[in-house]
Structure 1
Amino acid sequence: MALFGKKKQEKPEEAQREMKEYIKGAGGTIVSKSILEGTSKLKWLFREESEHGNGWIAFGDRDTQEYVNDVKNMTIVDFNTLANIEPTVVNVFYMPIGTDLEFRSDNTGKYFVDTRTGKEIREPVKHPAQIAFEKNLKFLNQETYPSEFFEGLFTKSSQIEVLMAGEADFPTGEVVIADPLAYLGTKYETVLDKRIPAGSYPVELAVCPSTVAGLRIVAARLRVSDKAAVRYEIAMPKGKKIEDLGKPGVWTFFGVDTGLACFADSRAAEANRLFFENWQRENPGKNKYVDYFAALFQKSYENQPKYQNRGVSFLEWQVPKTDHRTVLFSSGMGDGMYSGYWALDAQGEVVSLIAPFMNPEYF
């Protein structure tokens, strides 16, 4: 047959280049057909409030008002389709509703101009969550904050929901604050200088249903007393005092490498270490979270789904075969360095221990 030995003719759709995915889940964008058909080039890009798609609308340089007024000349495509025609649009994808841009291409390069301010946009605009995250990093681990900040974290508002996540047992009163999966019971945990009376105490969480970052735990609080707090101070590690701040080798933060944190008694921390050493021997190659904690977090989610994310938010956990409970909770935006702060009453006694992860004003 004559077909043998000849290259198979490609269908038109097969001849088209493979579309590159610049932004995952970018959503639908309204684009004039002239841009898609190549009879015009991108000229105007603006973003409107929309119940469907991402709100972006693109017009070409040859589109007339009469042309765009005809709905037959407009179509909805994935934003990445437009980006494959003109990749520069990726730079402005995260700009807010109300954005109105003109696309320009000259001997200085390709860029957008904000038609309302005249500002040239030549670099990628960051996602709002990234901007908030960077501001938050600068905000964390200060020596102190205004009392209003701590009090606001645990006051119900349009930004904050406060819930009781469980109780933690402190048989010795020596407090550890650490990542429970990575550092609890190891030399990398942070044992605090102040002690609390032996007992069991509730752990409260301040949850922010953020439109920027999603549902997040912005702070955790170990409530030791119902007395009024009159001042706050950063929690120093064991053997160090406030006066040691700034000295070489003195730090006040605890590290998070699995997205989780907890308050625990030093005895509970040791019990945690011994339990998981034995568990790892009996379960070689298995993962502490995936093969042990995941099912427990899922059950916690099912019991209180309103203020939790599926997978991991918070969990009251008792070390098996002991009476040591700890409360595990996600740490704001995840891994990082965080500090604890003591709330003290008029006599200087501990009222609570607070771990802030996020400033809700940024989110």
Structure 2
Amino acid sequence: MKNNNEFELSFDLTEDIKDRGLIEIHAGDVNLPTGRIVASDPFFSAEQAAFSRSVVPDKYPVFIYLEQIDKLHNRIAYAKIKFRPEPASRWVLALTEDITEEELKDLDEDEFYGFPVSSGLAGFMDEETNEEFINKLDALQEKDPEYNYYDEVLAEEFRQYSGKNNFSRELGDWNDHHINAGSDNNIIMFASGWGDGYYPSYWGLNQNGDAVELVIDFLLDDFDTGEGEVKDEFEDENV
């Protein structure tokens, strides 16, 4: 398998975030009991593998970076887990453990592996938490195939958690969702830029190759979205 260094970015992602004048918000702390991280649309995470690189199990702060579209409209451009205090000195594409050697050989310089979003939401979670969430959704839908977890549970959580923030839409753009009461296992969820798409993640490393941070890029500049196409609500999947 190719080394991650072969997919190193040619620019400094930290400086890119800084130069764009983005608004930084601490969205919450994600619990990583195994240190194996999944970045995914939380409603379509059953087939999303954890990243091949893991971190020391602990709780880590998650930050989101919002870009002002107009005076009353912001969109999340990046989401980041911070593992160490120092800045990253280089960036490599974050690869999941299920990517084969042949797939890596076929990857061109302007291509990437990432994860798909179909509900307008993305999130960081531990592999253990992901399994708990999948099992919970499966159990609820087995009892009631029409059960909508977003409508029944998450919608109000999002409104209460971030809907009153000046930089969020009223429905809430980020949330700290705990799978089960009394458990530390959680998913830090956030709106995925302009919505549905396919998004890359990058490890920020220090000079020793240690993971400093993990960043999802929602590729705001790659979307040509007209005023009439901007959605004010997440895609409500029947999940």
User: CA 1:241–1:203 in structure 2 vs 1: closer, same or farther (change >3 Å)?
Assistant: farther
Q: 2:194 aligns to what?
A: 333
> Distance in 2 between the 1:243 and 1:224 partners?
31
What are the equivalent positions in structure 2 for 1:115-126 lying under 5 Å apart?
Answer: none
SS of equivalent to 1:176: strand
Gaps of 5+ in 2: 1-6, 225-239
| CA spacing shift, 1:361–1:335, aligned 2, 3 Å | closer
User: Do structure 1's residue 297 and structure 2's residue 158 form an aligned pair?
Assistant: yes
Partner of 1:172: 34
Residue equivalent to 1:200? 59
What residue number does 1:306 align with? 166
Give the TM-score, by structure 2 length. 0.80
- 1:313 partner amino acid: D
Percent identical pairs in the alignment equals: 23
Could you tell me how far 1:179 is from its partner in structure 2?
Answer: 0.1
Secondary structure of 2:216 counterpart: strand
Q: Which amino acid aligns with 1:152?
A: D
Q: How far apart are the structure 2 equivalents of 1:241 and 1:339?
A: 17
Counterpart CA distance in 2 for 1:179 and 1:327 is: 11
| Matched letter for residue 286 of structure 1 | Y
Aligned match for 1:357, one of 218, 221, 225: 218
- Which residue of 2 is the match for residue 315 of structure 1? 175
Count of aligned pairs between the two proteins: 214
Give the secondary-structure state (helix, strand or coil) at the position aligned to 1:236: coil
Output one character per residue of 1:68-101: Cα deviation in whole Å (capped at 9) or x when no partner: xxxxxxxxxxxxxxxxxxxxxxxxxxxxxxxxxx
The structure with the larger Rg is 1
The alpha-carbon deviation at position 306 of structure 1 amounts to 0.9
In structure 2, the residue matched to 1:272 is 133
The alpha carbon displacement at 1:297 in A equals 0.8
**Superposed displacement of residue 277, structure 1:** 1.7
Higher relative contact order, structure no. (Cα contacts within 8 Å, ≥ 6 residues apart):
2
Q: Residue 168 of structure 1 aligns to which amino acid in structure 2?
A: V
Contact 1:159 1:210 in 2 (8 A): no
Q: Distance in 2 between matches of 1:198 and 1:286?
A: 33
String of CA shifts for 1:263-316, please: whole Å, max 9, x gaps: 1110000011111122223444121212221111111134x4211112241001
User: Following the alignment from structure 1 to structure 2, what is the Cα–Cα distance between the partners of residues 202 and 147?
Assistant: 24
**Displacement of 1:225 after TM fit?**
1.0
2:124 corresponds to which of 245, 257, 263: 263
Letter in 2 for 1:175: I
- On the 8 A contact 1:318/1:325 being kept in 2, the answer is yes
CA contact (8 A) 1:317 1:325 kept: yes
Alpha-carbon contact 1:227-1:351 (below 8 Å) kept: yes
Q: Within 5 A, what are the aligned runs for 1:13-92?
A: none
**1:191–1:324 Cα change, 3 Å:** same
Preserved CA contact (<8 Å) 2:93 2:112: no
Q: Where does structure 1 lack aligned partners over 5 or more consecutive residues?
A: 1-142
